Amino acid sequence: MTRLSGKVALITGGGTGIGRACALQFSREGARVAVAGRRREPLAAVAAEIQAAGGQALSASCDVAKSDQVERTIREVVAQFGALHVLVNNAGILHVGSVEETSEAEWDRLMDVDLKGVFLVSRAALPELRKSGRGAIVNIGSVLGLVGMKKRAAYAAAKGGVTMLTKAMALDHAQEGIRVNCICPAIVETDLVQTILSQASDREAAVRLRTAQIPLGRMGKPEDVAALAVFLASEESSWLTGAAIALDGGLTAY
Judge whether residue 24 has pLDDT over 90: yes
Query: Which pLDDT value is given to residue 203?
Result: 83
Q: Judge contact between 90 and 19, C-beta under 8 A.
A: yes
pLDDT tens per residue across span 57-84: 999 999 999 999 999 999 999 999 999 9
Judge whether residue 123 has pLDDT over 70: yes
- Return residue ranges of the chain for CATH 3.40.50.720: 8-185+222-245
The DSSP element (H or E) to which 165 belongs, if any, is: helix 153-173
Handedness of CA 28, 228, 113, 193 (dihedral sign): negative
For 93-171, strand residue ranges (E) read 136-140
Judge whether residue 133 has pLDDT over 80: yes
Q: What is the mean pLDDT of residues 16-27?
A: 98
| Strands 8-12 and 57-61, sheet pairing | unpaired
Handedness of CA 33, 95, 156, 198 (dihedral sign): positive
The DSSP element (H or E) to which 103 belongs, if any, is: none
Q: Judge contact between 155 and 142, C-beta under 8 A.
A: yes
Nearest CA-CA partner of 64 in 126, 137, 3, 12 = 12
Q: Judge contact between 183 and 144, C-beta under 8 A.
A: no
DSSP 16: S
Q: Known catalytic residue: 254?
A: no
Query: Which pLDDT value is given to residue 207?
Result: 84
DSSP 225: H
Question: How far is the C-alpha of 148 from the C-alpha of 234, rounded, in Å?
Answer: 31
Query: Which pLDDT value is given to residue 202?
Result: 85
Q: What is the mean pLDDT of residues 52-58?
A: 98
Question: How far is the C-alpha of 44 from the C-alpha of 47, rounded, in Å?
Answer: 5
pLDDT tens per residue across span 177-208: 999 999 999 999 988 778 777 778 888 888 88
Q: Which of 46, 155, 190, 234 is catalytic?
A: 155
Q: What is the mean pLDDT of residues 137-158?
A: 97
Judge whether residue 1 has pLDDT over 70: no
Question: How far is the C-alpha of 238 from the C-alpha of 136, rounded, in Å?
Answer: 9
Judge whether residue 89 has pLDDT over 80: yes
Q: What is the mean pLDDT of residues 43-65?
A: 98
Q: Judge contact between 77 and 8, C-beta under 8 A.
A: yes
- Entry pTM: 0.96
Query: Which pLDDT value is given to residue 233?
Result: 98
The DSSP element (H or E) to which 163 belongs, if any, is: helix 153-173
Query: Which pLDDT value is given to residue 149?
Result: 95
Query: Which pLDDT value is given to residue 8?
Result: 98
Residue 17: helix, strand or coil by DSSP? helix
Nearest CA-CA partner of 57 in 21, 92, 24 = 24
The DSSP element (H or E) to which 181 belongs, if any, is: strand 179-185
The structural architecture, per CATH, of the domain 8-185+222-245 is: 3-Layer(aba) Sandwich (3.40)
Query: Which pLDDT value is given to residue 254?
Result: 86
**Helical H segments across 14-103, by residue range:** 17-28, 40-52, 67-81
